Amino acid sequence: MADAPWLELLNSDWHDYRGSGLRRDLVDDRAWLERFVGPWAPALEGIPEGDVRGALKKLRRVIRATVDCIAARRNVPPRLWAALNAVLAASPFVRRVERSGAGYSFPLVPRDPGLSAMLGEIAAGFGETLARGEPARIKICQNRDCLWVFYDRSKNRSRRWCEGGTGCGDLMKVRRFRAKHRHGTADRAKRG
């Protein structure tokens, strides 16, 4: 299952989960950007790529700061709600009746399908998750080298690592095992 656009945007600030210290901003990667904005590409024609990148990074900072507060069980500062709501306000949507097969549909459509509409859809997806999902399930991988944001879909809401038990979860188990045995070896060497 693909991540929601807001999650994918947050995780575009990539950190090497193995601890090398490498970090890469995928918004600056042309292939990633083209794939990410693909659904909105026709509406973004004529908008300089730098403007798109800058707007995505700005929205990412706002959502990430909000998620950091939520994951730490802290109050989200009013300035972050104001910034998120400003993005939503800049992207007015209207309802429209459309013929859909043998019936009708009543979708929300953007008045101006440009950059503000794309940002608004991403922000709206985050807002939907907060309003209709369970904000306590929004978590940050506990591997301090990773910091990947995910929505915990486990039954007991106990997931601590990204990638559902592979990747960071396995890496952290190996690190704990090695640390435990390294100390055990050192203790035996002191006694021997």
> pLDDT confidence of 1, banded at 50, 70, 90?
very low
- Percentage of residues of the chain with pLDDT beyond 70: 87
What's the N-to-C CA distance of the chain in angstroms? Answer: 54
Output the pLDDT for position 64.
Answer: 97
CATH of the domain at 151: 1.10.3300.10
**pLDDT tens per residue, range 109-144:** 888 889 999 999 999 999 999 999 999 999 998 888
Helix (H) or strand (E) holding 13: strand 13-15
**pLDDT tens per residue, range 16-51:** 877 788 899 999 999 999 999 999 999 999 999 999
CA-to-CA distance for 169 and 118, rounded, in angstroms? 34
State yes or no: pLDDT of 155 exceeds 90. Answer: no
User: Which of the pair, 75 or 147, is modelled with greater confidence?
Assistant: 75
* Parent domain of 185: 5-191
Q: Is the dihedral of CA 106, 107, 113, 116 positive or negative?
A: positive
CA-to-CA distance for 44 and 53, rounded, in angstroms? 12
How confident is the model over 167-190, as a mean pLDDT?
A: 66
Output the pLDDT for position 184.
Answer: 58
> pLDDT confidence of 94, banded at 50, 70, 90?
confident
**pLDDT tens per residue, range 46-55:** 999 999 999 9
State yes or no: pLDDT of 170 exceeds 80. Answer: no
Average pLDDT, the chain: 87
Domain count, the chain: 1
Closest CA to 122 of 74, 78, 87: 87
User: Which of the pair, 31 or 147, is modelled with greater confidence?
Assistant: 31
CA-to-CA distance for 128 and 108, rounded, in angstroms? 14
> pLDDT confidence of 69, banded at 50, 70, 90?
very high
